[in-house]
């Protein structure tokens, strides 16, 4: 669903971030463990996806 939205609106909404956070058990476990995945499993693809998202957000916020 999110990928479809992104594909349909990427042109008319260029402010959309393109980091895909995968569905993964370690993402779901963040709530249980109350530990961000980037601390507990930093090398996993899901954690790398969060790093990519945060980098994009940081880039946007740096403009302000």
Domains of the chain, residue spans:
2-61
3-state secondary structure the chain: CHHHHHHHHCCCCCCCCCCCCCCCHHHHHHHHHCCCHHHHCCCCHHHHHHHHHHHHHHHHHCCC
| pLDDT tens by residue, 11-39 | 888 788 888 888 889 988 988 999 988 89
The contacts of residue 50 (CB under 8 Å, 6+ apart) are 19, 21, 36, 37, 38
CA distance 10 to 15: 8
The predicted pLDDT at position 62 comes to 94
Look at residue 47 in the predicted model and tell me its pLDDT: 92
């Amino acid at each position: 669903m999110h990928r479809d939205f992104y594909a349909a609106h990427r042109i008319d909404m260029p402010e959309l971030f393109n980091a895909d956070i995968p569905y993964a058990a370690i993402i779901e476990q963040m709530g249980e463990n109350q530990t961000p995945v980037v601390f507990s499993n930093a090398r996993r693809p899901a954690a790398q996806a969060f790093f990519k998202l945060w980098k994009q957000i940081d880039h946007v916020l740096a403009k302000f």
